[in-house]
Structure 1
Amino acid sequence: MSSIHRLCRFEQLEDPGSRGFSVELEGDTQEILVVRKGERVYGYLNRCPHTGINLEWQPDQFLDLSQSYIQCVTHGALFRVEDGLCLRGPCAGDALSPIQVELRDGEIVAILDTLSGA
């Protein structure tokens, strides 16, 4: 079973841009991030595969200075926006955990699987 969470309007996310969200799933809070690149959006758990900590250095600041990669503030690891693959850093070759995100009527929604549907 899946749970749908409205995050924000598509136009509220800069291009390129990123934003973090806290969503409730079965009594637990999940920290996720969304990145816009052109007309596409990508979603991931806000958790570094190396240490498990949140990635951002300030609220909603997930991208590097060039706005090309997701960056972990702790060790400077760089992740490809399109698939979350770590290209540089202590977790090179690992990847961020993807979250299914979609555009629905101009809104970005996250679709998270619940444990009862597993």
Structure 2
Amino acid sequence: MDTITTVLPLCRLQDIPDGGATAVDALLADGEQSLILLRDGEEVRGYRNVCPHAGRRLDYAPGKFLLKDDTLICAVHGATFQRQVGLCMAGPCRGESLRAVTLRVEGDEVWLA
């Protein structure tokens, strides 16, 4: 898990479509990073927006992700990740995982934990 350095919420819960994803920029200990936020009801999971295969962002346009069933698909090489744990199930980085970030939801705001 990553160390945090932010004192502001990442976004509001309603900024993430239920069952969908968005990207936000956050200041972490090692610099500014793009994060993927995935929402299921009141629960939000977060990963660094970096594919372990080639180090590229997973979104096909800023904040727009390919989602199918319970998977997140890298727009560059088609690697398919489990939304719940970030594990690559298919594609060039099979068996590797996205780097998780710990989040918390307080009221209607999403924060780094």
Q: How does 1:9-20 map to 2 (within 5 A)?
A: 9-20=12-23
Runs (4+) of structure 1 moved beyond 4 Å? none
Q: Is the 8 A contact 2:66 2:75 kept in 1?
A: no
Q: Is the partner of 1:6 in helix, strand or coil? A: coil
Task: Select the structure that is richer in strand.
Answer: 1
TM superposition score normalised by structure 2: 0.86
Shift of 1:18: 0.7
Aligned residue-pair number = 110
Decide which of 67, 70, 79 is 1:68's aligned counterpart: 70
Structure 1: where are the runs of 5+ without partners? 112-118
Residue identity opposite 1:72 in structure 2: C
Q: Deviations over 1:27-84 (max 9, x none)?
A: 72111110002331100011001111111001212232x3531111111111011110
Q: How does 1:1-118 map to 2 (within 5 A)?
A: 2-4=4-6, 5-26=8-29, 28-64=31-67, 66=68, 68-111=70-113
Identity %: 33
Q: Is the 8 A contact 1:49 1:94 kept in 2?
A: yes
Shift of 1:96: 0.2
Larger Rg: 1 or 2? Answer: 1
- Please give the root-mean-square deviation of Cα atoms over the aligned residues, in Å: 1.8
Counterpart CA distance in 1 for 2:29 and 2:84 is 28
Q: Which has the higher contact order (CA 8 A, sep 6+)?
A: 1
Counterpart CA distance in 1 for 2:36 and 2:46 is 6
Residue identity opposite 2:59 in structure 1: E
Shift of 1:12: 2.1
Counterpart CA distance in 1 for 2:79 and 2:30 is 31
Residue identity opposite 2:84 in structure 1: E
